[in-house]
Amino acid sequence: MVRLRLGWVAVVLGVCAAAVLPGVPARAAPGKGPASALAPATSLARLFDNVAVGEDSRPGTADFDGAGRSLSAGDLAAAGWTPGRVLTVRGARLTWPRTAPGTPDNVRAAGQSVRLRGRGEALAFLVAGTASRGSDAGGAGTVRYADGSRSAYRLTAPDWRTGPLATKAVALPHVDTPAGPLAERARLYVVTVPLAHGRTVASVVLPRDRALHVFALSLRPGGRGWTGSWAAATSGYAPVGPWTDRTLRLVVHTSAGGPRARLRFENTFAAAPVRISGATVAVRGEGAAAAGAPLPLTFGGARGVTVPAGAQALSDPVAFAVPADTDLLVSFHLPGTVTAAPVHRLALQRSYLSEPGDHTGDTGPGAYPSTLTTWPFLTGVDVGGGPGTVVALGDSITDGEKSGTDANRRWPNVLAERLLRQHAVPRYGVLDEGISANRVVADRYPGDGVSTDTGGVSALHRLDGDVLAQTSVRTVVVFEGVNDVRWGATADEVVAGLRELAARAHAHGVRVLAATIAPCEGEARCTAEADARRSIVNAWLRGSGGTFDGVLDFDAVLRDPDRPARLRPEYDSGDHLHPGPAGLAALADSVDLRLL
């Protein structure tokens, strides 16, 4: 049996009588009895048998790990994780246990059968591990479907004290112990595993590992009836302002259009909640002016929303004719003081900051005297209907470096324009999830705390949130690796990372196209050794067989025929690393749309 570790999900490959790959339904094996013969399912809360959360003043009332250590109720409240709070993380709505400190709030996985009914594209678990020596916890479980079929999954939970901060849902500032607080970060994680497409879940059998603690479980919807039109990946948690009682008016450019819209705001990497007291959307006129009166958004019927640390807020659908290939103004009021925020740094778009007050409903530009060059908090715009979404996962070349400010000439923009002009394939929405300085296998931003480094967590660590959790995602184009080889990663490391990205996306039913790494000779870090590593990765990509659903040879498009390690002069922006607008357009024009 071969085990391939896929981030937080390990898919077991081999011959196993009762197990199948995630997403592949199976009838009960002969001699094992029907699926209905398994233990009766009950709600997760009825199975709670462990106390993780206690009061700082009474740490002895909780014992999460068997050594008397526990999570602080005060720290959780400060993060906005209060009892009964519905938290949207990575597209899944999970309810933090509605329990008082010092009472059971999680279940130690021991093969219990949990009642969960509905359809979705993935299961989402809110978990943490308490294994000895800080190792991961987990094991194999089973999903039971309403038609009697089953599928196997494997769930892995990082340790609550030593797991990676880059993938945590929330980190708390200390751990309670009977001897007093420990100044170390306590972590909680949201982990997703794929489901069989189109089948109704009836229950979930947990793995057998009592070091695996489950706080909540839900289904992540697939976004049926919606298409992603615009998105930006959170690249870090950076100092801002400070802003007090200000309105941000962000300019974003759509790909697909539709008759209604919903918007996504994220408080990624944060340690405290953020309050948005009101938000609107409008078609842009000129500058900070709207073409018409901005339409107010609601969140669960309310005008405003508080977004807990590490969580998201999705607006209610609003009837709004969203044009394709058009600038929108998204305005939202921050009534409190904000000193740091999750941002997408390389917006390459001038947005606007107001004078004090709620100016979300202003049509004119008069209240917006200042400009912004980042996208804080806002991460997505969906439109109603449409055929689904293509996601571009990449680094600065995908992020649009050297494409020009306010130009919307990133290669995913040009690809979206191509789709709109043709009728041979559906007109998919195109989402740009590029992050300047991003890598496949290493984190630039560590994933926690305020930092000026906005190179993001690795593609491996952000795949679930930036790709798999996107609305109606159909295909991902992976165009990364140049920063890995420039900064010393081996070709084998990059190849292993790309393999893992493909396997994890395929397990969720997403098509994967991989692009070869562009040449960069002449740039300071693009040494002969780096180019040799790049060439090895590219040779593997071109001969990778069925690893991907297609390979886009972006290297061949951009390279100088006379000096293949360099960019073609007409495509070189001047820094020998980033293509200019002509080179970016050439990348988009080279894509066979039938592969999408």
Q: How far is CA 539 from CA 170, 460, 534, 536, in A?
A: 40, 21, 9, 5
pLDDT tens, position by position, 306-315: 999 999 999 9
User: Do residues 342 and 404 both lie within one domain?
Assistant: no
Instruction: Please check whether residue 232 lies inside any domain of the structure.
Output: no
Instruction: Please check whether residue 234 lies inside any domain of the structure.
Output: no
Q: What is the mean pLDDT of the chain?
A: 93
Yes or no: say if 261 and 383 are a contact pair by the CB < 8 Å rule: yes
- Domains identified in the chain, total number: 3
User: Do residues 205 and 108 both lie within one domain?
Assistant: yes
**Cβ within 8 Å of residue 410, ≥6 positions away:** 348, 398, 399, 400, 403, 432, 434, 584
User: Do residues 198 and 294 both lie within one domain?
Assistant: no
Could you give the CA distance from residue 424 to residue 350 in angstroms, rounded to a whole number? Answer: 35
pLDDT for the residue numbered 381: 98
Question: Tell me, what CATH number does 432's domain have?
Answer: 3.40.50.1110
User: Do residues 365 and 394 both lie within one domain?
Assistant: no
Average of pLDDT values for 52-70? 96
User: Do residues 363 and 431 both lie within one domain?
Assistant: no
Report CA dihedral (445, 446, 450, 452) to the nearest 10 degrees: -30
Instruction: Please check whether residue 226 lies inside any domain of the structure.
Output: no
Average of pLDDT values for 325-354? 98
User: Which 3 state secondary structure label does DSSP give 396?
Assistant: helix
Could you give the CA distance from residue 588 to residue 407 in angstroms, rounded to a whole number? Answer: 15
Average of pLDDT values for 528-554? 97
Q: Is the pLDDT of residue 17 over 70?
A: no
pLDDT tens, position by position, 346-383: 999 999 999 999 999 999 999 999 999 999 999 999 99
Instruction: Please check whether residue 356 lies inside any domain of the structure.
Output: yes
Q: Is the pLDDT of residue 302 over 80?
A: yes
pLDDT for the residue numbered 22: 34
Yes or no: say if 536 and 491 are a contact pair by the CB < 8 Å rule: yes
pLDDT for the residue numbered 439: 98
pLDDT for the residue numbered 134: 82
Instruction: Please check whether residue 227 lies inside any domain of the structure.
Output: no
Could you give the CA distance from residue 389 to residue 427 in angstroms, rounded to a whole number? Answer: 9
Residue where a domain stops, chosen among 379, 398, 432? 379
Yes or no: say if 314 and 302 are a contact pair by the CB < 8 Å rule: no
Could you give the CA distance from residue 403 to residue 529 in angstroms, rounded to a whole number? Answer: 28
Yes or no: say if 552 and 594 are a contact pair by the CB < 8 Å rule: no
User: Do residues 211 and 245 both lie within one domain?
Assistant: no
pLDDT tens, position by position, 228-257: 999 999 999 999 999 999 999 999 999 999
Q: Which residue(s) pair with 550 in the sheet?
A: 513
User: Do residues 82 and 178 both lie within one domain?
Assistant: yes
Q: Is the pLDDT of residue 182 over 90?
A: yes
User: Do residues 326 and 446 both lie within one domain?
Assistant: no
Structure tokens belonging to residue 172: 């708390």
User: Do residues 316 and 455 both lie within one domain?
Assistant: no
**Is the pTM of the predicted complex or chain greater than 0.85?**
yes
User: Do residues 441 and 331 both lie within one domain?
Assistant: no
Average of pLDDT values for 74-99? 98
Q: Is the pLDDT of residue 545 over 90?
A: no
Closest CA to 466 of 435, 427, 426: 435
Residues shown for the chain: 596
Average of pLDDT values for 208-228? 96
Report the run of H or E that residue 557 belongs to, with start and end: helix 554-558
**Cβ within 8 Å of residue 493, ≥6 positions away:** 441, 484
Q: How far is CA 209 from CA 52, 125, 428, in A?
A: 17, 15, 42
pLDDT tens, position by position, 434-447: 999 999 999 999 99
User: Do residues 245 and 372 both lie within one domain?
Assistant: yes
Task: Specify the amino acid at residue 240.
Answer: V
Could you give the CA distance from residue 233 to residue 427 in angstroms, rounded to a whole number? Answer: 22
Could you give the CA distance from residue 302 to residue 552 in angstroms, rounded to a whole number? Answer: 45
Closest CA to 76 of 129, 138, 132, 126: 126
In this structure, how many other beta carbons lie within 10 angstroms of the beta carbon of residue 39? 10
Q: Is the pLDDT of residue 21 over 70?
A: no
Residue where a domain stops, chosen among 329, 356, 379? 379
Yes or no: say if 457 and 439 are a contact pair by the CB < 8 Å rule: no
Instruction: Please check whether residue 188 lies inside any domain of the structure.
Output: yes
Give me the domain span that covers residue 138: 2-220
Residue where a domain stops, chosen among 220, 249, 284? 220
Yes or no: say if 106 and 204 are a contact pair by the CB < 8 Å rule: no
Structure tokens belonging to residue 304: 């405003």
Spell out the SS3 assignment of 23-92.
Answer: CCCECCCCCCCCHHHCCCCECCHHHCCECCEECCCCHHHCCCCCCCCEEEHHHHHHCCCCCCCEEEECCE
Instruction: Please check whether residue 21 lies inside any domain of the structure.
Output: yes
Q: Supply φ then ψ for residue 547, to 5 degrees.
A: -60, -40
pLDDT for the residue numbered 38: 56
Yes or no: say if 94 and 216 are a contact pair by the CB < 8 Å rule: yes
Question: Please, which pLDDT band fits residue 133 given cuts at 50, 70 and 90?
Answer: confident
pLDDT for the residue numbered 528: 98
The larger pLDDT score, comparing residue 34 to residue 366, is at: 366
User: Do residues 455 and 561 both lie within one domain?
Assistant: yes
Could you give the CA distance from residue 508 to residue 443 in angstroms, rounded to a whole number? Answer: 23
Closest CA to 123 of 224, 37, 199, 236: 199
Could you give the CA distance from residue 402 to residue 12 in angstroms, rounded to a whole number? Answer: 43
Instruction: Please check whether residue 225 lies inside any domain of the structure.
Output: no
The HSE-up count of residue 36 (CA atoms within 13 Å, CB side) is 3
Structure tokens belonging to residue 190: 């949201």
Task: Specify the amino acid at residue 215.
Answer: F
